[in-house]
């Protein structure tokens, strides 16, 4: 299935069409141009001697997309790192994945102990790409990372077979609801699984993609101007986190009058407020709005429910409907028994489950297992499963939070802060007043005077930007529980 879909993309690249494949801040890229870039980078990868995935480093450049395709054509998986990731974080990714080389698109002189291919120095080549072998379905497709509560990042290796299971239901679903030549909008980082779903669905279907620069994430007018630029390739679909969608809706120009072909929205990645979706429906009457859900560990998306007006009424959590494809949804109500209805931790089983974290000895690999011979994953999400199988998510059972659709474990921030000499107490707090954000509370009367500055500098060097707390405060008397542990709920109530 994966080879069949990908070989269609290879054939399109070989044909050298003048149709538009990508739209970036730097201009438009045709399928023919993309094919020649892929072919050049594919030849450059022949110089890598060691096995292993390719690290692709950059942002929303067309060469990032070309590099990912080239890696697959070369029989390798890939892992993406944003150009603004700290060197320490990139080093962890390289070590965890066993990367064989780097395709650097950023071009900023970044140095790593790997064979490096400077994309800017790679010449185009005739697009004579070789089709994939269908027998290689078990091969790695990509690795995406989430933060770890131990301070150790978790890599999620998604195989071609995992992604094929996702494509088996999502491709027909997309084709049925969005027939036509309209473009997809890609706003999430390529390091985030939402991008892995929308960019590959568009590429494999032969649709163009708008690659939104993150520099404009808080500037809806710049994004809307970009999306309105090309009348021949209008945007038709958008996969978005609620936070990004809310920013777009701050502009009165984000509406059907300005973007008349934008008619299908997938919204997920974190809790979706009903008032936000009502604003979206008013701005784009007649559009289809899908409530989407799916952990990175289960290949992007497992639920994709079209919302009715009735779904948007009332105060109960939004329904996600039934799981698609072969994914089976179960619930552990607290006794370790997996049931088909009830309230508790949601467990997903099926061919989309990635099966493990990298490194292999990561303590959170206990969340993977099998159920009746099928791979399964304990999501850490608390939800309700109705007798008919419809699912609603109520929140997290652990301390993971999602901000702007990105999953963050507060413990990873705390662990990093505690690496600073003199820091003995660190508590990450989710602030929900106004814009959802993270605050870091440092405790202890003996903390160095420059403790806040030292912690801020250490976090900037150790963690990616999306994990940086918006504020760091000092609390001399951090509340404790009766057992002598930090009273995290008490800290939360003080600062949230």
Does residue 242 surpass a pLDDT of 90? no
Read off the tokens for 74.
């070369």
d(C-alpha 214, C-alpha 223), whole Å: 10
- Asked whether the beta carbons of 410 and 401 are under 8 A apart, the reply is yes
Q: What is the pLDDT of residues 42-97, one digit of tens each?
A: 999 999 999 999 999 999 999 999 999 999 999 999 999 999 999 999 999 999 99
Q: What is the pLDDT of residue 350?
A: 98
Does residue 425 surpass a pLDDT of 60? yes
Average pLDDT estimate for 146-162: 81
d(C-alpha 173, C-alpha 170), whole Å: 5
> If we measure between CA atoms, which residue out of 217, 242, 185 comes closest to residue 405?
242
Q: Residue 180: count other Cβ atoms within 10 Å of its Cβ.
A: 10
CA dist list (Å): 114 to 43, 55, 94, 102, 153: 18, 9, 9, 6, 20
Average pLDDT estimate for 347-362: 96
313 or 332, higher pLDDT: 332
Task: Tell me the CA end-to-end span of the chain in Å, nearest whole number.
Answer: 48
Spell out the residues 6+ positions from residue 289 whose beta carbon is closer than 8 angstroms to its own.
265, 267, 277, 280, 281, 306, 307
The SS3 of residue 332 is: strand
Spacing of C-alpha 102 from chain mean position = 21
Q: What pTM was computed for the model?
A: 0.87
- Asked whether the beta carbons of 271 and 407 are under 8 A apart, the reply is no
Q: What is the pLDDT of residue 150?
A: 52
d(C-alpha 345, C-alpha 328), whole Å: 14
Read off the tokens for 157.
């290796």
d(C-alpha 205, C-alpha 127), whole Å: 19
**Residue 420 phi, psi (nearest 5):** -80, 125
133 or 449, higher pLDDT: 133
Tokens 């060691």 belong to which residue? 50
d(C-alpha 474, C-alpha 26), whole Å: 44
Q: What's the order of all strands across the beta sheet hosting 425-431?
A: 425-431, 437-443, 471-475
Does residue 324 surpass a pLDDT of 70? yes
Residue 292 CB-density burial (10 A; 0-12 exposed, 13-18 middle, 19+ buried): buried
Q: What is the pLDDT of residues 427-462, one digit of tens each?
A: 898 887 767 789 999 976 667 888 899 999 999 999
Beta-strand relationship, 328-332 and 338-339 = antiparallel
- Each as own residue / partner, the long-range contacts of residues 136-140 (CB below 8 Å, 24 or more positions apart, any chain) are 136/3, 136/75, 136/160, 137/1, 137/2, 137/3, 137/161, 137/164, 139/75, 139/77, 140/53, 140/76, 140/77
Spell out the residues 6+ positions from residue 421 whose beta carbon is closer than 8 angstroms to its own.
448
Strand partners, 392: 319, 384
d(C-alpha 372, C-alpha 367), whole Å: 16
Q: What is the pLDDT of residues 135-151, one digit of tens each?
A: 999 999 999 998 655 55
Does residue 486 surpass a pLDDT of 80? no
How many helices (H) and strands (E) would you count in the chain?
A: 12, 25
The SS3 of residue 138 is: coil
Average pLDDT estimate for 31-36: 98
Read off the tokens for 76.
């390798």
Does residue 424 surpass a pLDDT of 90? no
The SS3 of residue 377 is: strand
CA dist list (Å): 271 to 19, 98, 293, 430: 37, 34, 10, 14
> If we measure between CA atoms, which residue out of 348, 360, 343 comes closest to residue 299?
348
């Amino acid at each position: 299935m994966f080879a069949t879909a990908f070989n269609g993309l290879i054939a399109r690249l070989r044909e050298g069409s003048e149709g538009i494949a990508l739209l970036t801040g730097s201009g438009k890229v045709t399928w023919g141009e993309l094919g020649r870039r892929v072919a050049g980078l594919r030849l450059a990868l022949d110089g890598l001697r060691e096995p292993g995935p390719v690290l692709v480093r950059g942002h929303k450049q067309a060469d990032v997309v070309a590099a990912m395709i080239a890696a697959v054509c070369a029989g390798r998986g890939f892992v993406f790192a944003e150009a603004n990731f700290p060197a320490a974080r990139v080093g962890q990714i390289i070590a965890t994945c066993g990367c064989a080389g780097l395709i650097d698109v950023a071009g900023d002189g970044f140095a790593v102990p790997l064979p490096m291919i400077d994309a800017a120095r790679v010449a185009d080549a005739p697009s004579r790409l070789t089709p994939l072998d269908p027998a290689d379905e078990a091969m790695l497709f990509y690795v995406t990372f989430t933060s770890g509560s131990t301070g150790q990042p978790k890599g999620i290796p998604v195989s071609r077979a995992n992604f094929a299971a996702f494509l088996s239901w999502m491709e027909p679903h997309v084709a049925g609801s969005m027939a036509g030549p309209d473009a997809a909008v890609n706003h999430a980082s390529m390091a985030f699984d939402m991008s892995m779903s929308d960019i590959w669905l568009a590429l494999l279907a032969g649709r163009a993609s708008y690659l939104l620069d993150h520099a404009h994430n808080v500037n809806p007018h710049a994004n809307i101007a970009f999306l309105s630029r090309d009348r021949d390739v209008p945007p038709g679909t958008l996969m978005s986190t609620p936070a990004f969608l809310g920013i777009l809706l701050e502009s009165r120009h984000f509406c059907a009058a300005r973007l008349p072909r934008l008619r299908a929205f997938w919204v997920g990645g974190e809790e979706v407020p009903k008032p936000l979706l009502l604003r979206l429906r008013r701005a784009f009457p007649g559009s289809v709005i899908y409530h989407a859900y799916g952990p990175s560990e289960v290949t992007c998306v497992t639920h994709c429910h079209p919302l009715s007006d009735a779904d948007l009424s009332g105060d109960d959590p939004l329904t996600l409907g039934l799981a698609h494809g072969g994914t089976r949804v179960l619930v552990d109500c607290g006794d370790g028994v997996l049931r088909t209805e009830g309230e508790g931790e949601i467990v997903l089983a099926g061919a989309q489950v990635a099966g493990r974290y990298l490194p292999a000895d990561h303590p959170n690999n206990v969340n993977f297992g099998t159920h009746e011979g099928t791979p399964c994953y304990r999501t850490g999400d608390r939800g309700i499963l109705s007798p008919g199988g419809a699912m609603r998510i109520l929140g997290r059972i652990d301390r993971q939070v999602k901000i702007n659709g990105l999953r963050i474990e507060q413990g990873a921030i705390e662990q990093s802060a505690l690496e600073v000499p003199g820091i003995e107490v660190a508590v990450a707090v989710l602030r929900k007043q106004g814009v959802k954000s993270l605050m870091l509370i440092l405790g202890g009367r003996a903390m160095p005077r420059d403790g806040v500055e030292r912690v801020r500098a250490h976090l900037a060097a150790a963690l990616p930007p999306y994990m940086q707390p918006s504020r760091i405060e000092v609390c001399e008397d951090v509340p404790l529980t009766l057992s002598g542990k930090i009273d995290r709920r008490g800290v939360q109530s003080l600062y949230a």
